[in-house]
Structure 1
Amino acid sequence: MIAKITVGTSLYGALAYNGQKVNEGEGRLLAVNRIFDDGSGHVDIARAEQDFKRFMPEQVRTRNKVIHISLNPHPDDRLTDVELEQLAREYLDRLGYGDQPYLVFKHEDISRHHLHIVSVNVDEQGRRLNRDFIHRRSRRITSELEKKYGLHPADRRQHRTDNPLRPVDTSQGDVRRQVSNVVKAVMAGYRFQTMGEYRALLSLYNVTVEEAHGIVNGREYHGLVYFSLSFSNPSATGDAGNRTGTPFKASRIGKSVGYEAVQRRFEYSKEQIRDRRLAETTRRTVAAALARTYRREEFVALLKAKGVDVVFRHTDEGRIYGATFIDHRTGCVLNGSRLGREFSANALQEHFTLPYAGTPPIPFTIAVDGQQPDTRPAVEYDEGYSSGLGLLGGDTSGAQAEEAAFERDLRRRRKKRRKGQGL
């Protein structure tokens, strides 16, 4: 069982993120302590926030007063809701939070069900709880619980490459929820600067997006429509895929994946990639793979082994006219031309042309100024693994990124509201 611990300032953000999952049918409220629960299965987010605040003085010196914990059993541990609740309560008791107000949520929006716990770091006198060595203590507690209840021990090395986000499979039913899970997670967890890069990323998970423009009642509107795709292996073949099933308007999924949110994501990604020099990591990896082979299939395999997918686009004659690299380590999606002229579609087409197949690869040399990009995750957690902002690091890497995006959007809405009130 893997535990991930995040501390922060936004109580409402943590409650709204989990409460909306429950209210939209993507989770359940399993346990409460010192918080009102009407037993309806619905979460009154505003009431829960009030209840938490009743146990804290108005003036609290501790800045990071909110603690958000995710508990992730091994996928082979098939536990009932009663067993999951028991695990969560015992974990909190041993960690020193058993008497605190808390809510335990079960998330069911991905194949591996897992728990999220929201509580506070201060007692009723406003004193901060002991968080010394909390991650070390948490690891010891989860190990003891695994032994006590005969659970599979957590293999953290395996946890690194276990991807909880699955490609949409129309045969499994509930396609809207599958599409929703994909687009929310990739929007929160990756950086991309154009609709083409966003579309290439979605194609890895059998989803695509189209823009919708028009005029209604004399007013221009912009929207997005998402589709599920049917194809074999887009990263290897470059197949654009066939749209299947019912299209889903972004409004049916949520504002966080709508047209305006995607446009904001473009601007945010551009700043992040530029300021943190994130493209350098991908450029070096792609250059090293090109230096080793002229065979496209081997090139794709070499990149995948390093945590990078590539999506090719072809003309009807089979010529490469586009290539997009998706680096799961840094969460960056980059068209080949962004990496340099030698990685453009024309350069790659020439590189993979048969006359070159029998000759040794030409070494690529890239000037590096020695500065390494900062790829540390923005949230504060210790146990388990985070693949930057990617979705390859356990079942909450995407979820925690999604929560961070949720809180950023919440702050933007509050700021706009204050401006509108002249504050």
Structure 2
Amino acid sequence: MVAIIKTGNSLRRSFYYNENKIREGVAECIMAGNYPADAENLAENQRLNMLLKLAAMNENVTRNSVHISLNFDPSEQFSRAQLSEIAQSYMEKIGFGQQPFLVYQHHDAAHPHLHLVSVKVRPDGTRIETQNIGRNLSEKARKEIELAHGLVRAEESKQRKAYELKPVNAQKVQYGKIQTKRAIANVLDAVLPSYKYVSLPELNAVLRQYNVAADRGSEGSRTYKRNGLTYRILDEHGNKVGVPIKASDFHNNPTLKYLQQRFEINETARQPHKARVKNAIDFVLLKRSENSLPGLIQALEKEGIKTVLRQNDTGLIYGITYVDFRTKSVFNGSDLGKQYSAKAIVERCAEQQNQSLNYQKNWQQIPSDDQQVGSAYSRKAELQTQIRVGPTDSNSSDDRSLDVLFEPARTGDFMPWQLRKSRKKKQKKLSHQL
């Protein structure tokens, strides 16, 4: 089981994200924990008002909503009662067992998963602290529930692969607003809060890996002038397809204002990871076998770093961005240093390639040790043949008496001197005895 906890400043947004899934026919509310009635007997406004009532008990708690997803292995199948039991146990273990909470079962993904919505304010108005709740409480709760219910452990490789974010398949998306919005929302939920980007182009360098793009429109457009933002799906060639969705229409409200706040936070958060990307680039360029630009890109991918090139219509590279998937940090080339900019990288690759070609050319012109030795043996054999055979002359005789002078002595009784010495001693000893 994989648990993901998010807090926010809008209960309504978390609530309606799940309620809209019900309207789309891909989710159902299976439990209303600590409500005065069961979920099926509560109207939509009753489910929401219970949460809003508690939030009003302490208006100083601005981030008052808690939105949790519990994800299970695709091989696991559960009844509604089992899922409710797991949700109840999890909420108790993380300190929300006495809070009202709603449990939604979603059917819009390949793996079974639940969404839980609750509030951080207790009935007495006190705040429930969620700082480091994932590390301090959720991890322990997850492991205990996995053991108690015999679930697939999150540490297993198959489990991790099941939740890897995959690119949106534009061909499978029906270009209606609901399908497009759902596909884009899944990508935004995974990328926006976790990657460290400091500009819209850097964010798009990540989103494009999943066939999604954030678009402000042209500078003269109405959207651009009003600081608006839309999200689009891209096809395999990077062309925009489908219906553009306004940022304000998504449940997590990924507007330009929100992104600008993330830019400031991420600028500091990504600093410790600069050295890893710079060292990886420098190390690759030291290798003669990977000194071309395609070789650099391929080698960095093995290190978990995606190189995104920006080119004009003529193919000229004018920008480069590095996406480090291991540290989830994004860097424009010039932000790493002048020598990592697009122009410098192209020049460094060209310089390294020229040096490599010159090296290979010079090396081919210098005979190797084996070639020199082979040449010497060949010359000696040629001289010996001339001595034995003599000059090519039809009047020459067949006398080969001189061959004896150049042929090695052949003897069958050759023995190292150490052994011969030992043999002589033995013979002396025998003669003495006689």
The verdict on a shared fold, with TM-score over 0.5 as the criterion, is yes
* Counterpart position of 1:168: 168
In 1, the alpha carbon distance for the partners of 2:252 and 2:125 equals: 36
Amino acid at match of 2:208: S
1:14-413 matches, cutoff 5 A = 15-16=11-12, 18-25=14-21, 27-36=27-36, 37=39, 39=41, 42=44, 47-50=49-52, 52=54, 70-91=69-90, 101-107=100-106, 111-118=110-117, 134=137, 137-147=140-150, 151-156=151-156, 163-173=163-173, 174-212=179-217, 213-214=219-220, 220-231=225-236, 241-253=238-250, 256-273=253-270, 276-292=271-287, 293-353=290-350, 354-356=353-355, 358=357
Amino acid at match of 2:75: D
Contact 1:31 1:85 in 2 (8 A): yes
Larger mean CA deviation between 28-37 and 98-107 belongs to 98-107
In 2, the alpha carbon distance for the partners of 1:91 and 1:351 equals: 54
Contact 2:55 2:120 in 1 (8 A): no
SS at match of 1:171: coil
CA pair 80-204 structure 1, distance change in 2 beyond 3 A = farther
In 2, the alpha carbon distance for the partners of 1:220 and 1:121 equals: 38
Contact 1:23 1:43 in 2 (8 A): no
Amino acid at match of 2:84: E
Contact 2:30 2:105 in 1 (8 A): yes
Contact 1:94 1:141 in 2 (8 A): no
Amino acid at match of 1:186: V
Alignment TM-score, normalising by the size of structure 2? 0.61
* Counterpart position of 1:369: none
Alignment TM-score, normalising by the size of structure 1? 0.63
- 1:207 positional shift: 1.7
- 1:78 positional shift: 3.9
SS at match of 1:330: coil
Amino acid at match of 1:48: M
Q: Relative contact order: is structure 1 or structure 2 higher (C-alpha 8 Å, sep ≥ 6)?
A: 1
Larger mean CA deviation between 104-113 and 161-170 belongs to 104-113
CA pair 199-125 structure 1, distance change in 2 beyond 3 A = closer
After superposition, what is the alpha-carbon deviation per residue over 1:11-51, rounded to whole angstroms, capped at 9, x for unaligned? x65x4453132123275432112225464674657513256
CA pair 260-197 structure 1, distance change in 2 beyond 3 A = same
* Counterpart position of 1:414: none
In 2, the alpha carbon distance for the partners of 1:128 and 1:77 equals: 36
In 2, the alpha carbon distance for the partners of 1:244 and 1:288 equals: 39
Amino acid at match of 1:77: E
- 1:327 positional shift: 1.8
SS at match of 2:197: coil
Contact 2:13 2:251 in 1 (8 A): no
Contact 1:2 1:71 in 2 (8 A): yes
Contact 1:209 1:226 in 2 (8 A): yes
| Structure whose alpha-carbon radius of gyration is higher | 2
In 1, the alpha carbon distance for the partners of 2:261 and 2:51 equals: 29
- 1:341 positional shift: 1.7
What RMSD over aligned residues (CA atoms) do the two structures have, in Å? 4.4
In 2, the alpha carbon distance for the partners of 1:203 and 1:340 equals: 24
CA pair 296-156 structure 1, distance change in 2 beyond 3 A = farther
Identity of aligned residues (%): 27
After superposition, what is the alpha-carbon deviation per residue over 1:278-303, rounded to whole angstroms, capped at 9, x for unaligned? 43333233333333421444433433
Amino acid at match of 1:286: I
SS at match of 2:227: strand
After superposition, what is the alpha-carbon deviation per residue over 1:144-177, rounded to whole angstroms, capped at 9, x for unaligned? 2342xxx434334555566543211123222232
In 2, the alpha carbon distance for the partners of 1:197 and 1:330 equals: 15
In 1, the alpha carbon distance for the partners of 2:28 and 2:162 equals: 24
In 1, the alpha carbon distance for the partners of 2:145 and 2:46 equals: 30
In 2, the alpha carbon distance for the partners of 1:346 and 1:310 equals: 14
CA pair 280-89 structure 1, distance change in 2 beyond 3 A = same
In 2, the alpha carbon distance for the partners of 1:168 and 1:349 equals: 31
- 1:315 positional shift: 4.1
- 1:310 positional shift: 1.6
Structure 2, gaps ≥5 residues long: 174-178, 360-434
SS at match of 1:333: strand
Structure 1, gaps ≥5 residues long: 232-239, 361-423
